[in-house]
Structure 1
C-alpha cells in the first residue's frame, strides 16, 4: 500500500489545486482553491477557454463579479470530480472588512446555488484576521460554512473555535519557511524534520487543543513543503495537499503511522483560553511569525487577484 493510501486510513485527503483535470487520479474527497492557484490554472492553455467564456457571458458585470463567477465555475468543475466539498476564497483585499466579506461570501453561495450546487458542498475561504473570523461567525449562523485560512497560530485557531467556524487551515510550510529563514546558517534540517518541524508542531498544538476541549471545528493542515511534514500529521482531521506532493506520496511505500490522536489529546493538560478583540490582537501581535505571515499572505493573494483582474480586462 502506498503512502497516500495509508494516509487515507487516518486522515481525509484534500487536493490543493485549481487544476481539476488532475484531480481524478488521486481520488481526494475535497479540494481547495485560492487566487494564486486559480491564476496559475487560467494561464494554462487547457483552462483559457473557461476564462474567455466566463468573461464573454457576462459583458455587463464588473470585475469583482466576473472573478466570483470564474471562481464558482472552477468550483463547479472541481465538484464534478470530487465527492465532497470545494473551498472558494473571498477577495483577500476584504480581509479587514467584516461586512464586505459577508456580502461577497453570500454572493459566491448564491452563484453556486444558481449552478445547482448544494450549500453544504461549499466552504467559503476567509483570511483569519479578527474581521474575517467575525464574518465567518455571522456566515455560520446563516448556514454558510467557512474555511479560515492564512492561519499561523493557536491564537487564531482559538478565536475560530469560539466563532464555531466549520474548518480551519493551519499552515505548515510557511511557518517552516519563517523559522528556517530566521535561523539562517544555524538551521539543522534533520533536527527540525518530521515531528520537530515548527509548522507540524503548530498544527499538532491546535489539533490537541480542539480535541481536548471538544471544539467541533475541523482541522485541515495546509501549505506543505515536503511529504515528511504530511506524514508527521497523519491523523489530522484533513490535510490539503498539492498534486506534486500527492504524486510523491503515491510513489512511496514507506510506512505511515498515526501521529495525531484525539484520545490522547483529551488526556493532555491544557488551559482553556478565551479571546475578546483586544486580547486577540495583542496575542497575535506577540507572535512575530504569525503576524508577518498573515500580512504577507494577504498581500500575496491580493497581488494575484489583481493579476487575475488584468487577465480578465485583456479579454
Structure 2
C-alpha cells in the first residue's frame, strides 16, 4: 500500500535532514542531504552501547588532520578546522544514499563577513577533496545564512562554480537577493529554529505561504536557476501541505511517520499541496495592487524586490520592515542558536585533544 512518503516523492524531491547514515539507508534513497551545526552536534554526541562516543574515530582523525592543516593557513582556528572536517566526514557517509547534493553549512559566526564565509566555503570544498578524492565536487552545496553579507558570499562562490544554498530564509526580500546572486537553492524555514530546541515553544506564524510564494516568484524570473528547499518542519501535516515544492528536507522522525502512514486513508488529503495553491491564488488576486505583506506577489511588489537587491541600504531596510521585522528577528535567532552549537562542537574538539589550550587555537603563523 502506498504511503504518504511514496506519494510525496511523486510531487517533490525528498531530501534527508540528517547526518545519520543508518536512518538514510533505511528510509532512502534521497535526492539531497542537508545538515547544519545542530544536526552535526546531535550526531557526534551519540554514544555506543558501551557508553563511548560513537564517532570517536572520526573525531580523533579530524583533529589529527586539523593539526596538519593548522600551520599551513591563517584563516581558521584548530577547533574550527576540526569541526569542518567532522561535518564533512559525516556528510560523506550519506553519499551512497543520495543522488544530488551534500549540503554543508559554513560557520555561523562568519554570517556578517562575506570574505570569511567565502574562505570557509573554499576550505570545506578542500576538505571534501582531501577526505573523498573520488567524490564529485559538483555534488557539494555550501549552506550560508541569508544575511546581506552571506548572500554576497554566495554570489562570489557561484561565480567560482561552487553551488550555494541561502539558508535560514524568512522573507521574499532574502529570496529575491539570493536569486539575484545566483544561488542554486534557498531554504525557507517554515518554523523558526527555536522550535527544535525548546519543546514548550511553537511558532505562531509558520511560513508555509512563504515557500509557495518564493517558488512562484523564482519560477517567474527569466533564467532563474534557484530552487526552493522547504526546511524546518515539525509535522506530517506541514510536509504534505508543501507537496509540490521543488525540494523538501525532512528529519528522520517525520520521514518514519510519513513512511508508516497509508496515503489512501490519510484524513487530511485535501490539504496536500496547499502551500502552492495558496501562492497561486494570492498572486492572481494581487494584480497590480501594493501591499506591505511579505508574501504578496503583485506587480508593484515584484518591482520593489527587483530594485532593493541592487542597493544594500534599501535591501536592509526592506528586510527590516518585512512582516514588521519578524523575518529579521527569526534570522538573528537562528544565527545565535547555530553559533551556540558551533561553540559546543568546538568544545568537543577541546575535550578530545588535550593539546588544545582552554582558550582555543589561533590562526597559524
User: Could you say what secondary structure the match of 2:183 adopts?
Assistant: coil
Structure 1 unaligned regions, length at least 5: 178-183
Q: Residues 4-41 of structure 1, C-alpha deviation per residue, up to 9 Å, x if partnerless?
A: 01000010000101212210122121110100110010
TM-score by length of 2: 0.77
Q: 2:315 pairs with 272, 280, 287, which one? A: 280
User: Could you say what secondary structure the match of 2:55 adopts?
Assistant: helix
Distance change (3 Å), C-alpha of 1:58 and 1:264:
closer
Whole-angstrom CA distance in 2 between matches of 1:248 and 1:306: 32
Whole-angstrom CA distance in 2 between matches of 1:15 and 1:279: 36
CA contact (8 A) 1:219 1:237 kept: yes
CA contact (8 A) 1:176 1:199 kept: no
What's the offset of the Cα at 1:49? 2.9
Equivalenced residues, count: 300
User: Could you say what secondary structure the match of 1:147 adopts?
Assistant: strand
CA contact (8 A) 2:154 2:181 kept: yes
Whole-angstrom CA distance in 2 between matches of 1:26 and 1:5: 11
Structure 2 unaligned regions, length at least 5: 48-53, 71-77, 196-200, 288-297, 353-365
Whole-angstrom CA distance in 1 between matches of 2:99 and 2:225: 22
Deviating more after overlay: 228-237 vs 41-50 = 41-50
Partner of 2:61: 53
Whole-angstrom CA distance in 1 between matches of 2:80 and 2:8: 38
Matched, 1:212 2:220: yes
Q: Residues 245-265 of structure 1, C-alpha deviation per residue, up to 9 Å, x if partnerless?
A: 11111111224744437x958
What's the offset of the Cα at 1:208? 1.3
User: Could you say what secondary structure the match of 1:13 adopts?
Assistant: strand
Whole-angstrom CA distance in 1 between matches of 2:182 and 2:99: 24
Distance change (3 Å), C-alpha of 1:2 and 1:176:
farther
CA contact (8 A) 1:24 1:82 kept: no
Q: 1:248 pairs with 230, 241, 257, which one? A: 257
What's the offset of the Cα at 1:51? 1.5
Partner of 1:180: none
List structure 1 runs of 4+ shifted beyond 3 angstroms: 56-61, 255-259, 267-270
Partner of 2:347: 310
Alignment of 1:195-274 (within 5 A): 198-214=206-222, 215-253=224-262, 254=266, 255=269, 257-259=272-274, 260=276, 268=284, 269=287, 270-271=298-299, 272=302, 273-274=305-306
Q: Residues 273-292 of structure 1, C-alpha deviation per residue, up to 9 Å, x if partnerless?
A: 22221111001111321111
**Structure with max Cα Rg:** 2
Distance change (3 Å), C-alpha of 1:297 and 1:198:
closer
Whole-angstrom CA distance in 2 between matches of 1:137 and 1:59: 31
| RMSD over equivalenced CA pairs, Å | 2.5
Whole-angstrom CA distance in 2 between matches of 1:243 and 1:289: 29
CA contact (8 A) 2:194 2:333 kept: no
Matched, 1:128 2:146: yes
Alignment of 1:102-121 (within 5 A): 102-114=118-130, 115-116=132-133, 117-121=135-139
Q: Residues 178-226 of structure 1, C-alpha deviation per residue, up to 9 Å, x if partnerless?
A: xxxxxx9xx9x9xx9xxxx641112111111112234320001000011
Deviating more after overlay: 235-244 vs 67-76 = 67-76
Q: Residues 159-195 of structure 1, C-alpha deviation per residue, up to 9 Å, x if partnerless?
A: 1011110000000022896xxxxxx9xx9x9xx9xxx
CA contact (8 A) 1:18 1:74 kept: yes
User: Could you say what secondary structure the match of 2:19 adopts?
Assistant: coil
